[in-house]
Amino acid sequence: MRLLLPLAVAIASASNAPNLLAGPSDSAIENANSNAKFLRCGTEHPGAAKAAKEEKRFRDLLRQVKNGKKPDRPGGGNGNGNGGGGGGGEEPPTTTVPSPGSIVIETYINVICTSGGSCPASDSQVLEQIQVLNAAFSSTPYYFQQIGGIDRYDNTSWYTAGPGSAAEAQMKSSLRRGDRGDLNIYVSNPGGGLLGWATFPSSYTSAPSNDGIVVLGASLPGGIAEPYNGGDTTVHEVGHWLGLYHTFQGGCRGGGDFVADTPAVRSPNYGCPVGTDSCRKSPDDDVFNYMDYTDDSCMFRFSSGQVERAYEQSLTYRNLDAI
Ligand SMILES: [Zn+2]
């Protein structure tokens, strides 16, 4: 979870928070770093072993999607189809990331207010948030097109719903619109220092109604969640929704975030600690990356490897491709 509170406060509130790290025992890699207990982002990440397993499945599916999308080689007959990939563990055909703005994602905005009509963000903040989101993804294939209006719902239970709660499930099953390629954003006030959370593309099939991102209204541009009030929580959570892990996923060892050009990062970075090199065998941490935990004023980029992964993930699991 992206936590707004200082660490000391987060410690006190941790007992009330969902036990997000109670997953596989191999999550010990992230637990090994004390900051990981105080994730600001509630997106549930797999432990190392599960992530490796999921990655293998993803690569298999991606290969199938690509081979089904277009012939691997010009003139190749059926005999060169899947059988040609029989080497085991072969990489799929090279990925060509579509041009900027060529993949339009229909985006639904759900603003959750209290039953008394107190809302976490204004219309102008929401509109500015969409601008911030599109600016952040402007060098990627993705463009987020708001569909319909800014819909507001008065429900105090939903307003404070945390990740994995019954209230969250009820909210999403009542409100979610679109299919696997459509983004639903829920703007609420979950409390406990949570800034937001997301579902991964690979989760859609098993839990379609749960798909989407939830963000703290105060994290929207002009909100009070300083230094996380520049709108980058939404950018970060959409990064997850497209298939990106944290840059510190897996720590210094193993597959990490499965992106080749993001240096390994031992643990979340906070503030803007330029020059940090947390893993000896890897270059300096990319503290400017949207998928770390630094301040909104610090984070401003995705790497080209992340853009490629987002495309591959969302092509595979969300059928999102250039028009
Ligand atoms: Zn996150």
Model pLDDT, residue 209: 98
93, part of any domain: no
pLDDT at residue number 56: 97
Confidence check: pLDDT of 2 > 90: no
How many structural domains are present in the chain?
2
Q: What's the pTM value of the predicted model, to 2 decimals?
A: 0.84
| Structure confidence at residue 25 (pLDDT) | 31
> So what's the pLDDT on residue 92?
57
**Tokens describing residue 124:** 């102008």
Please give the residue range of the domain that contains residue 114.
103-224+304-318
Specify the pLDDT at position 317.
98
Separation of alpha carbons 137 and 156, rounded Å: 33
Using the mean position of ligand 1's atoms as its centre, give its distance from the Cα of residue 196 in Å. Answer: 8
Whether 107 and 204 map to the same domain: the answer is: yes
31 & 159 share domain: no
Residue 55 has pLDDT above 50, yes or no: yes
Residues with CB under 5 A from ligand 1 (ion): 41, 43
Q: How far is the CA of 31 from the centre of ligand 1 (A)?
A: 15
Closest CA to 137 of 110, 112, 107: 107
Asked if residue 117 belongs to a domain, the reply is yes
**45-74 mean pLDDT:** 86
pLDDT in tens, 187-243: 999 988 899 999 999 999 999 999 999 999 999 999 999 999 999 999 999 999 999
pLDDT for the residue 69: 73
In SS3 terms, the chain reads as: CCECCCHHHHHHHHCCCCCCCCCCHHHHHHHCCHHHHHCCECCCCCCHHHHHHHHHHHHHHHHHHHHHHCCCCCCCCHHHCHHHHCCCCCCCCCCCCCCCCCEEEEEEEEEEECCCCCCCCCHHHHHHHHHHHHHHCCCCCEEEEEEEEEEEEECHHHHCCCCCCHHHHHHHHHHCCCCCCCEEEEEECCCCCECEEECCHHHCCCCHHHCCEEEEHHHCCCCCCCCCCCCHHHHHHHHHHCCCCCCCCCCCCCCCCCCCCCCCCCCCCCCCCCCCCCCCCCCCCCCCECCCCCCCCCCCECCHHHHHHHHHHHHHHHCCCCC
Chain-wide mean pLDDT for the chain?
Answer: 86
User: Three-state SS string across 202-220, please?
Assistant: HHCCCCHHHCCEEEEHHHC
In a domain, 215, yes or no: yes
CA of 104 to the centre of ligand 1 (A): 23
Q: Which of 2-6, 13-17, 225-229 has the lowest mean pLDDT?
A: 13-17
Mean pLDDT along residues 147-168: 97
Q: Are 220 and 123 contained in the same domain? A: yes
Q: Which of 30, 237, 308, 312 is flagged as catalytic?
A: 237
CA angle, residues 237, 240, 241, in degrees to nearest 5: 90
Q: Does one domain contain both 216 and 134?
A: yes
Asked whether residue 96 is domain-assigned, the answer is no
Last-in-domain residue among 67, 95, 115: 67
Q: What is the pLDDT of residues 275-319, one digit of tens each?
A: 999 999 999 999 999 999 999 999 999 999 999 999 999 999 999
**Is pLDDT of 18 > 80?**
no
CA 63–ligand 1 middle distance (angstroms): 27
In a domain, 294, yes or no: no
The answer, yes or no, to whether residue 73 has pLDDT greater than 90, is no
pLDDT number for residue 34: 35
Do 62 and 109 share a domain, yes or no?
no
Query: Does residue 44 form part of some domain?
Result: yes
Q: Which of 42-51, 101-110, 241-250 has the lowest mean pLDDT?
A: 42-51
Does residue 87 have a pLDDT over 60?
no
CA–CA gap between residue 58 and residue 238 (Å, rounded):
19
Q: Contact at 8 Å (CB) between 267 and 248?
A: yes
Residue 14's pLDDT is: 37
Tell me the CA–centroid distance for residue 147 and ligand 1, in Å.
Answer: 25
Are 308 and 193 found together in one domain?
yes
pLDDT(20) > 70: no
Q: Is it the case that residue 93 has pLDDT exceeding 90?
A: no
Average pLDDT (105-125) is: 98
Is residue 80 one of the residues assigned to a domain?
no
How high is the pLDDT of residue 243? 98
Cα of 41 to ligand 1 centre, how many Å? 4
Q: Are residues 140 and 24 in the same domain?
A: no
Residue in the block written with tokens 């495309």: 311
**Strand ordering across the sheet containing 103-113:** 142-154, 103-113, 183-188, 213-216, 196-198
At residue 317, the 3 state secondary structure works out as helix
For residue 143, the model assigns a pLDDT of: 98
Q: How far is the CA of 116 from the centre of ligand 1 (A)?
A: 31
Do 17 and 160 lie in one domain? The reply is: no
Region 248-264 average pLDDT: 94
- Please indicate, yes or no, if residue 210 is contained in any of the structural domains: yes
Task: Enumerate residues 6+ apart whose C-beta is below 8 A from 283.
Answer: 263, 277
- Quote the pLDDT of residue 102: 97
Q: Are both 196 and 310 inside the same structural domain?
A: yes
Q: Is 237 a catalytic residue?
A: yes
